[in-house]
Amino acid sequence: MKIFLDANILVSVLNKEYPLFTYSSRILSLANRSDFKVFTSPLCLAIAFYFSEKKSGKKEAGLKINLLGSKILIADTTKVVVSQTIENARINDFEDGLEYYSALGEKCKCIITENVSDFYFSEIEVLSARDFFEKHL
């Protein structure tokens, strides 16, 4: 199963934010299983780096992002993704649109986020970390 992790899932892992860390870290560990492909976008990594840097400093944040980037797949955020986001009148948040179309481009079956309502326009499954864990694991 191909899944896409939103920035808030990555931040919770990098900063060990409880209680979400309990679920998000387990979901991130799916990258080690052959039956899952775990994606995120460059934008989500940038957001995760920003919040990790605020908590841990630039050097530590860089090490964390480097490790994260070696474990999960990075979805393309292309000109087509940007155009699709702009052209979809239902999308009010540009960032969420970029993440959505990046996930679709990789044929992800689910977006995992703590802001499920932000993806009200999604035609693929959108679940919180806990709901994903309970439903699929």
Share of the chain above pLDDT 90, in %: 99
Number of domains in the chain: 1
pLDDT class for 105, splitting at 50, 70, 90? very high
Q: What is the pLDDT of residue 65?
A: 96
DSSP letter for each residue of the chain: -EEEE-HHHHHHHHTT-TTTHHHHHHHHGGGGSTT-EEEE-HHHHHHHHHHHHHHH-HHHHHHHHHHHHHHSEE----HHHHHHHHH-TT---HHHHHHHHHHHHTT-SEEE-S-GGGGTT-SSEEE-HHHHHHHH-
What the block records as the tokens of 26 is 């387990």
- Beta bridge pairs of residue 127: 112
The CATH number given to whatever domain includes residue 120 is: 3.40.50.1010
pLDDT at position 49: 97
Task: Report how far residue 76's alpha carbon sits from residue 84's, in angstroms, rounded to the nearest whole number.
Answer: 13
CB 75 within 8 Å of CB 136: no
Amino acid at 90: R
Residue 76's domain comprises 2-136
The string of pLDDT tens digits covering residues 7-41 is 999 999 999 999 999 999 999 999 999 999 999 99
For tokens 């090490």, name the residue.
Answer: 63
Tokens of 64: 């964390």
